[in-house]
Amino acid sequence: MAENHYENPPLTISKIGIIGAGVSGIAAAKQLYHHNPVVFEASDSIGGVWRTCAYNSTKLQSAPKDYEFSDFPWPNRDDPSFPTHVEIVDYLESYAKHFDVLKFVKFNSKVMELRFVGQQGTTELGGNGGAFGSPLPGHPVWQIAVQTNGSQNLQWYAFEFVVVCIGKYGDIPKIPSFPHNKGPEMFQGEVLHSIDYCKLDKDAASQLLKGKKVAVIGYKKSAIDLAVECAEANQGPEGQPCTMVVRTLHWTVPHYSVWGLPFFLFYSTRASQFLHEKPNQSFLRTMLCYLLSPLRRGVSKFIESYLLWKLPLRKYGLKPDHPFEEDYASCQMAIMPENFFTEADKGNIVFKRSSNWWFWKEGIEFDDNTKMKADVVILATGYDGKKKLKTILPDPFRSLIEYHPSGIMPLYRGTIHPLIPNIAFVGYIESVANLHTSELRSMWLARYVDEKFKLPSAENMLEQIYKEMEVSRRITRFYKRHCISTFSINHGDDICEETGWNSWRKRSWFAEAFSPYGSQDYRLKN
């Protein structure tokens, strides 16, 4: 955490500060436009991880119409192809320019520290008003220290309300721990994290991979894309195979169609989500979920049967032991690049299953006593989003990030921490369409800030959050990712009801039951 340069620093005072200008940050800025928010962005452009953590081959995992703002459709929204990361950044920039959001953004402004200057007692449970008073109390509650253009001096700002939109990905890599004398320092080759690889241009990335024995650690989307880029750089007789070191397998899909049926029919309609448990459901609904559980498991098996037929998962030992629905419920379903298994068939991508591994001087050693030589090891092991938050939050709030025993950050409506006053977190609970949920929560947040409704007590908010967490715990072993995919429509219903909107957004009963929900369903009429 940054050292305070001033005991009583000079302040620039405003109503609302927003940290981060990625998808969530610009969505929040647009919804809070009438308050003239100040948006701090550490880089020189908007876009967040789409700008800073994308590979040359990175694409969206859905069609444009499934990843768009409610009031700003893609110009080619009916194109079924997946946009590249460059096209996504262009779309986000067009959105920000169209709604004149860029005027709020201070680029190259890295937030180093938050200081709470409100009343400490507001974080205690109990009381008639719950944890919070007015979201805009009329005086500063938070101070923010900002480092501009790498300067050693800090500029201080003061706000009545702060919105944190720095997300869980990027910035701070999650690095595996190793036994003594078995870490990267023992390896004679090059070790880097996927975040370091993202910073390379196309030529530098190709130079790093070409003709090298490369090991990619991981089997999620970033690792899969890395393996494909490695294989493409190693075509021809001089090429070397890329080895994916896989600890936990996850289901991958080639496209959004299963035995000729559109994928949304299985999980993204109100009728399909009726098969899944949701928070606050009635006893009758609970019994119905139990009675329909064979059908729910049958849907998962139906999808698995297609994936095992379509993809050579058994051939390469890549069939997960857990049901497909557990990956969907934890937002870990990845789209497989078209040429992934083509490259595997050519021997350009090979797989090594291992629960534990460590370095030796010439490569990697595994827990089955085998060794693999390597020139380059790339850790596609994810990011430490909690640590990123803890670097800027002060005590005692830093410890409240993991208030729940599961280690999940408790957020009411995916936005408000019941024990941290006058602050919101947008972009921290996942769904299958994170742009959509970030915009919807930003709409909700703007109504809350404008005091169109009041929050429940802290106890009631925590109770609601724990119900969501327990639902996730029961339906997937990967519940710590805190994903709402199987009850996302219910989540939208709750937000609508709290803000006074009609929760049923379709034009007919049939569409309400069998068509998918997306951003366009929540477009507000002027």
Pair of tokens at residue 249: 């397998």
Q: How far apart are CA 75 and CA 238, in angstroms?
A: 43
Task: Report the distance separating Cα 245 and Cα 215, nearest Å.
Answer: 7
- Is the Cβ–Cβ distance between 328 and 488 less than 8 Å? no
**Greatest alpha-carbon span in the chain:** 73
> In one letter, which amino acid is 369?
N
28 annotated to a ligand binding site: no
Instruction: Please state, in angstroms and rounded to a whole number, the distance separating the CA atoms of residues 262 and 260.
Output: 7
- Give whole-number Cα distances, 253 to 265, 477, 509, 518, in Å: 15, 20, 30, 21
Contact 378, 193 (CB under 8 A): yes
**Buried b / exposed e along 127-143 (16+ C-beta atoms within 10 A):** eeebbbeebbbeebbbb
The tokens 């937002």 sit on which residue? Answer: 331
Q: What angle do CA 192, 198, 204 make, to 5 degrees?
A: 80
Judge whether 340 and 181 are in contact, CB under 8 Å: no
Token pair recorded at residue 186: 């023992």
User: Do the annotations mark residue 62 as ligand-binding?
Assistant: no
User: Residue 87 annotated as binding?
Assistant: no
Cβ pair 57, 337 in contact under 8 A: yes
Q: Which helix (H) or strand (E) is 425 found in, with range?
A: strand 423-425
Please check whether residue 428 is in contact with residue 167, taking contact to mean a CB–CB distance below 8 angstroms.
yes
User: If DSSP states are collapsed to H, E and C, what string results for 229-276?
Assistant: HHHHHCCCCCCCCEEEEECCCCCEECCCEECCEECHHHHCCHHHHCCC
Are the beta carbons of 514 and 271 closer than 8 angstroms?
Answer: yes
Q: Count CA atoms closer than 13 A to 216's CA, side-chain side.
A: 28
The vertex-445 CA angle with 443 and 451, nearest 5°, equals 110
As a whole number of angstroms, the distance between CA 434 and CA 432 comes to: 6
Buried b (16+ CB within 10 A) or exposed e, 175-200: eeeeeeeeebeebebebbbbbebbeb
Binding region for FAD: 24, 41-42
